[in-house]
Structures are given as structure tokens and as C-alpha cells.
Amino acid sequence: MKFFVDTADITELRSLVETGLVDGVTTNPTLIAHARRQFEEVLTEICAIVSGPVSAEVTAIDLEGMLAEGRHLAKISSNVVIKVPLTVEGLKACHILAQEGTPVNVTLCFSAAQALLAAKAGAAYISPFIGRLDDVGELGMTLIHQIVEIYDNYPDFKTEILAASIRSPLHVVEAAQAGADVATIPPKIFRQLYNHPLTDKGVASFLSDWQKTGQTIGRD
């Protein structure tokens, strides 16, 4: 499974990239608003930090507007992926941009039928929102299983399943078990993946025992 970081915070991103575990980045208008900086400036910095896919979302809701914004953003860097909403206009834009060679991430997916349409439109990524489905009493992970099953039936589909709206480490694990290709993870949840009290306890115990030996490794 590939790990994308869902952020527009450059400081957070640099810190997580240092782990060697980051494969890409996703952004959205809300994250950009929280960053309180110019979108294109932030996007350029992110693309310089991460060599993998960087999703940049259009804000237009009409076809021509999406195409204009998508083409403009795609010029910023070769690793930019254009993010469009799963609407009729968004699917049209996805089809056209994909034919032009620009990878597209179709976002705000809440049903298997929508995911099927996105794959037929040529999406590079489909972003089903697990957490938001959980919020309204549905099982978001069920949608991941459904999309994996459908896509597996059609080898010609090249669309990668990008589990989004991740709310906990368990979401990441369950998405991986279901066969999602990517999880896009907020920085806080990313860090929680490698934190465990038993690991901390074990390290403290080993260090305590080692110090009693009075030894050092490779030091004068």
C-alpha cells in the first residue's frame, strides 16, 4: 500500500518525508485555506519536496472551468495530479484530461456506482471517503471492499483506489486488508501508525538493562 499525506502544511510534510514512508500528497481547498498561503506557491513547494503524485483540486464546478484550472495546475510540475469532484462535469473533465495525458484523482466518492463511472472515465485515482460515510451511519470500509471487487473484475481498469477521509490507524489497516492501493493520511494519524505504548515500554526496558552493562557501541 502507498501512503500519501493529506496536508498543505509544509513543515508537517517535511517532517514526515524524512521517515522515507511518504509516497505522495493530497490537498484540497480546505487544507489550503488552513495553510493561509497562496495555493500555487504551496503546490510548488510540495512538488519540490515529494517526487510522487501530488493531488491539486480544482475549484470550478463547470466543465470549462475545471479544464482551464486543471491544465493550469498541471503545468506547475510533472507530478501534479488534478483532483475533480465526482459530478457529471467532473467526470467529463476527467475523461478529457486523462486523454490529454494528465492524471486525475476523482474525489468525493460515496458509492460503488460512482467508482465504476470514474474508472470508465479514465481516472488515475478514485477517492472513496471512509470517515464521512461512517459519520452518517454507513460502513465506509464496505465501500472499499465493493470497489476492490468491481475493479478486480475488469483488469483493463487502471484506476487506483485511494482510501480517503481516514480517521484512525484502524482505517488504514482495514483499507490495506481490503486491498486499497493507497491511503491518504492526515499527519496526526500518520504518526499514530508507528506509536505503541508497548514499543515505548520495550525500548525503555532494553535501554535500562543496557546501561547497567556500562558498554557502548562504536564509541570511544
Residue 219 clears pLDDT 90, i.e. is over it: no
Cα–Cα distance measured from residue 125 to residue 4, given in angstroms and rounded to the nearest whole number? 12
Residue 130 clears pLDDT 90, i.e. is over it: yes
Residue 10 clears pLDDT 90, i.e. is over it: yes
Kind of pairing between the strands at 104-109 and 80-85? parallel
Cα–Cα distance measured from residue 58 to residue 82, given in angstroms and rounded to the nearest whole number? 7
**Mean of pLDDT over the chain:** 96
At residue 220, the pLDDT reads: 64
Q: What are the pLDDT digits (tens) for 44-92? A: 999 999 999 999 999 999 999 999 999 999 999 999 999 999 999 999 9
Determine the angle formed by the axes of helices 112-120 and 88-99, rounding to 10 degrees: 30
Cα–Cα distance measured from residue 149 to residue 124, given in angstroms and rounded to the nearest whole number? 17
At residue 142, the pLDDT reads: 97
Determine the angle formed by the axes of helices 112-120 and 140-153, rounding to 10 degrees: 40
Residue 109 clears pLDDT 90, i.e. is over it: yes
Give the mean pLDDT of 159-173.
97
Cα–Cα distance measured from residue 62 to residue 46, given in angstroms and rounded to the nearest whole number? 27
At residue 218, the pLDDT reads: 87
Q: Could you confirm whether domain 2-195 is CATH 3.30.70.270?
A: no
Residue 145 clears pLDDT 90, i.e. is over it: yes
Residue 98 clears pLDDT 70, i.e. is over it: yes
Residues identified as active-site: 83
Q: What are the pLDDT digits (tens) for 185-202? A: 999 999 999 989 999 999
High-pLDDT (> 70) share of the chain, %? 100
pLDDT band at residue 113 using 50, 70 and 90 as cut-offs: very high
Place of cell 546501561: 211
Cα–Cα distance measured from residue 118 to residue 86, given in angstroms and rounded to the nearest whole number? 8
At residue 82, the pLDDT reads: 98
Give the mean pLDDT of 147-155.
97
At residue 77, the pLDDT reads: 96
At residue 26, the pLDDT reads: 97
Print the SS3 string covering the chain: CEEEEECCCHHHHHHHHCCCCCCEEECCHHHHHHHCCCHHHHHHHHHHHCCCCEEEECCCCCHHHHHHHHHHHHCCCCCEEEEEECCHHHHHHHHHHHHCCCCEEEEEECCHHHHHHHHHCCCCEEEEEHHHHHHCCCCHHHHHHHHHHHHHHCCCCCCEEEEECCCCHHHHHHHHHHCCCEEEECHHHHHHHCCCHHHHHHHHHHHHHHHHHCCCCCCC
Give the mean pLDDT of 6-19.
95
Residue 35 clears pLDDT 90, i.e. is over it: no
Residue 129 clears pLDDT 80, i.e. is over it: yes
